[in-house]
Chain A
Amino acid sequence: MKERYDVIVVGAGPGGSMTAKTAAKEGLDVLLIEKRQQIGDPVRCAEGVNKVYLKEYIEPDPAWISAEVKGSKVYSPDGTMVEMSEELSGAEVGYVLERKVFDRALAREAALAGVEVMVKTRATGLLMEDGFVKGIKAEYMGKQYEIMADIVVGADGIESKVGRWAGIDTTLKPRDMCTCAQYLMTNIDIDPDFCKFYLGNKIAPVGYVWIFPKGRNTANVGIGITGHMSGEVRALELLDEFINKHYPDGKKIEMVVGGVPVCGSIARTVSNGLMLVGDAARQSDPVTGGGIFNSMWAGDIAGKVAANAIRRSDVSAESLQEYEKKWRVELGRDLDMGMVVKERFTRMTDDELNTLAHSLEGVDLGSTTLIGLVWALFKANKKLLWDLRSIFIGIKEIESEVKKEVYT
Chain B
Amino acid sequence: MTVSVERSKCGYCGACVSVCPTGALELMETWIEVSESCNDCRICVKICPVGALEVCR
Q: Does A154 contact B (CB under 8 A)?
A: no
Nearest to B12 among chain A residues (CB) is A42
Of the four ranges (under 10, 10 to 19, 20 to 34, 35 or more), the interface on chain B belongs to 20 to 34
Q: Does B46 contact A (CB under 8 A)?
A: yes
Q: Residues of B contacting A159 with CB < 8 Å?
A: 14-15, 17-18, 27
Nearest to B46 among chain A residues (CB) is A231
Query: Which among A37, A42, A227 has the greatest number of chain B C-beta atoms within 10 A?
Result: A227
- Give the A interface residue count (CB, 8 A): 34
Kindly specify which of A72-80, A255-263, A399-407 makes contact with the partner chain: A255-263
A-B contact count (CB 8 A): 89
CB distance from B50 to the nearest CB of A (A): 5
Say yes or no: A174 contacts B49, CB within 8 Å: no
Q: Does B19 contact A (CB under 8 A)?
A: yes
Say yes or no: A171 contacts B14, CB within 8 Å: no
Say yes or no: A179 contacts B18, CB within 8 Å: no
CB distance from A140 to the nearest CB of B (A): 12
Beta-carbon contacts under 8 Å, A210-241 to B: 227, 230-231, 234-236
The 8 Å CB contact of A257, one of B28, B29, B49, is B49
Nearest to A171 among chain B residues (CB) is B21
Known: A159-B17, A177-B19. A227 touches B11 (CB 8 A): no
Q: Residues of A contacting B13 with CB < 8 Å?
A: 44, 158, 257-259
Docked complex Cα distance between A275 and B26 (Å): 21
CB distance from A170 to the nearest CB of B (A): 8
CB distance from B9 to the nearest CB of A (A): 9
Known: A122-B29, A234-B51. A160 touches B18 (CB 8 A): yes
Known: A42-B11, A120-B29, A161-B23. A257 touches B50 (CB 8 A): yes
Q: Which residues of B approach A to under 8 Å, CB–CB?
A: 11-15, 17-21, 23, 26-29, 43, 45-51
User: Can you list 23 contacts pairing A with B, beta carbon distance less than 8 Å?
Assistant: A35-B29, A36-B29, A120-B29, A122-B28, A158-B14, A158-B18, A161-B23, A171-B21, A172-B19, A173-B19, A174-B43, A174-B46, A177-B15, A177-B18, A179-B15, A179-B47, A227-B19, A235-B50, A257-B13, A257-B49, A258-B49, A259-B15, A259-B19
